[in-house]
């Protein structure tokens, strides 16, 4: 049960967000209110207000940040992007919950003792608030973090934030995952799942060890991207940061996150920008087509299980369990393929005798398919992959060659989205990256053909200044750094 500090942190974060919007430059306020909120607030709890859906660490920084951007900064942040297909995805994402409710007005009778209730209008409102929490992050990032300088600042912020986060992570690797229960009074997940390979994997204040592993992997990859685009005076520091983050990633004991880093870091370090972007686009197409490929039984699941068995029999059994559950859940989702089953465990599979849930949902794609159907899946994943698919066209329209920084960011975003197929490791970082990338794409489209974007190469820090000085941005009276 959450203690008073957990409740205090959740209720006070709107005021922390307001202070950031009052004291920091707009870009820094957006980045750090969302980053710090996600990394520090308690996981697995929400504020249940009367007659309103619950507010979690995902929705509080974004909803209040969106409001403060309007009230404090005087900027109206459009929820819908300039792209026509992007507007269609956003409309479907917000209207989909009401269509799900309309197609699920019937109760489901599991047995004589258990009945899953019909969906009501309140359920649609609750679903929309959840969607708005992520959509507001996406819109804020698209509108405010919309050029190369802002994109670089976002990448630097994530790498530096996780360099700091490695301190509590290393503590939990040595002492066991206990910070959340010691500080907030409860453990946010199943403690047994944090035990792996004779030791512990960290979780700190995130939802699961898999979340912290994929974000550490992404940070290591982004450090490589920053090293390639930094001046010689600071490039070595980013390389050291990448090596250190990789060492911590090994201690996270997540094979998938480690494989992503092992495969992508050589590509990010050696390949040209066009090849990096092509790899990201190929991954984006795979993500959007994955439900169709699984429905048609095109994905060679048996071969993947055999390959996993050559590494570890335990991992092969885990992978087989995931695929078996996906097959059963996908067959259940196909009974209402358009808009899904909605909440109240209606998208799960139940034992007719006991009424207990017998399915396990791991991948976000199958969760989205069961919860909101094909339309919900396409709306959510379509918004996330949209900047990856549009980036190359935007560069061609601007008459410029693809650059390393946005291409590398696109590949790291694609890796995060690929991980949503076996896992549900979506986070505010995912939406913030996607929104910032789309803002960058839209800024490219506004440039006259052949004109380069005004983004000077970052200067080396002045003598005596901290290595990360200026990361948060500069106010009129001088530099300000959260570090």
pLDDT in tens, 147-192: 999 999 999 999 999 999 999 999 999 999 999 999 999 988 888 8
What is the Cα–Cα distance from 69 to 73, expressed in whole angstroms?
5
Percent share of the chain, pLDDT over 90: 61
Question: Model-level pTM greater than 0.75?
Answer: yes
Q: How far apart (Å, rounded) are the C-alpha atoms in residues 390 and 421?
A: 22
Residue 456 has pLDDT above 50, yes or no: no
- At residue 83, the pLDDT reads 87
Q: Return the SS3 of 357.
A: strand
Across 133-137, 231-235, 261-265, 451-455, least confident range: 451-455
Beta bridge partners of 115: 109
Average pLDDT, the chain: 87
Highest mean pLDDT among 48-62, 209-223, 302-316: 209-223
Which pLDDT value is given to residue 213? Answer: 95
* pLDDT tens track for 415-433: 999 999 988 889 999 999 9
Nearest of 373, 440, 426, 389 to residue 86 by alpha carbon? 389
Other CB atoms closer than 10 Å to residue 404's CB: what's the count? 17
217 touches 260 (CB < 8 A)? yes
Residues 6+ apart with CB under 8 A from 175: none
What is the rounded average pLDDT of the residues 235-244? 96
More confident of the two residues 264 and 355: 264
């Amino acid at each position: 049960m959450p203690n008073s500090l957990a409740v205090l942190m959740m209720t006070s974060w709107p005021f922390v967000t307001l202070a950031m919007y009052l004291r920091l430059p707009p870009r820094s306020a957006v980045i750090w209110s969302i980053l710090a909120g996600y990394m520090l607030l308690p996981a697995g709890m929400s504020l249940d207000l009367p007659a309103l859906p619950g507010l979690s660490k995902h929705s509080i920084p974004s909803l209040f940040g969106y409001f403060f951007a309007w009230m404090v900064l005087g900027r109206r942040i459009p929820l819908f992007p300039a792209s026509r297909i992007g507007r269609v995805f956003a409309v479907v994402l917000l209207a989909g919950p009401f269509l799900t409710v309309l197609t699920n007005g019937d109760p489901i009778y599991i047995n004589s003792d258990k009945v899953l209730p019909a969906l009501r209008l309140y359920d649609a409102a609750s679903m929309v608030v959840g969607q708005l929490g992520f959509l507001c992050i996406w819109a804020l990032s698209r509108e405010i973090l919309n050029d190369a300088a802002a994109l670089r600042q976002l990448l630097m912020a994530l790498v530096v934030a996780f360099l700091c986060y490695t301190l509590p992570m290393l503590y939990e690797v040595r002492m066991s995952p206990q910070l959340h229960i010691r500080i907030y009074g409860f453990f946010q997940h199943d403690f047994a799942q944090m035990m792996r390979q004779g030791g512990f994997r960290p979780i700190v204040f995130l939802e699961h060890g898999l979340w912290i592993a994929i974000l550490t992997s992404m940070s290591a990859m982004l450090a490589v991207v920053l090293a390639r685009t930094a001046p010689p005076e600071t490039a070595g520091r980013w390389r050291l940061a990448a090596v250190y983050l990789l060492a911590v990633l090994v201690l996270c004991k997540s094979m998938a996150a480690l494989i992503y880093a092992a495969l992508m870091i050589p590509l990010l370090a050696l390949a040209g920008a066009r090849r990096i972007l092509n790899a990201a686009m190929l991954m984006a197409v795979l993500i959007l087509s994955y439900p169709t490929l699984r429905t048609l039984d095109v994905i060679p699941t048996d071969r993947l299980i055999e390959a996993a068995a050559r590494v570890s029999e335990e991992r092969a059994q885990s992978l087989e369990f995931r695929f078996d559950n996906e097959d059963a859940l996908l067959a259940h989702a196909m009974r209402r393929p358009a808009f899904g089953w909605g909440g109240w465990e209606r998208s799960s599979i139940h034992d007719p005798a006991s009424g207990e849930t017998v399915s396990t949902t791991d991948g976000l794609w199958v969760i989205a398919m069961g919860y909101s159907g094909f339309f919900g899946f396409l709306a959510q994943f379509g918004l996330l992959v949209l900047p990856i698919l549009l980036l190359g066209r935007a560069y061609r329209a601007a008459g410029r060659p693809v650059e390393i920084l946005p291409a590398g960011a696109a590949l790291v975003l694609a890796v995060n989205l690929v991980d949503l197929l076996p896992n549900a490791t979506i986070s505010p970082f995912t939406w913030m990256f996607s929104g910032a990338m789309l803002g960058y794409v839209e800024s490219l489209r506004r440039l006259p053909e052949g004109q380069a974007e005004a983004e000077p190469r970052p200067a080396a820090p002045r003598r005596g200044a901290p290595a990360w000085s200026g990361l948060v941005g500069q106010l009129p009276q001088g530099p300000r750094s959260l570090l």
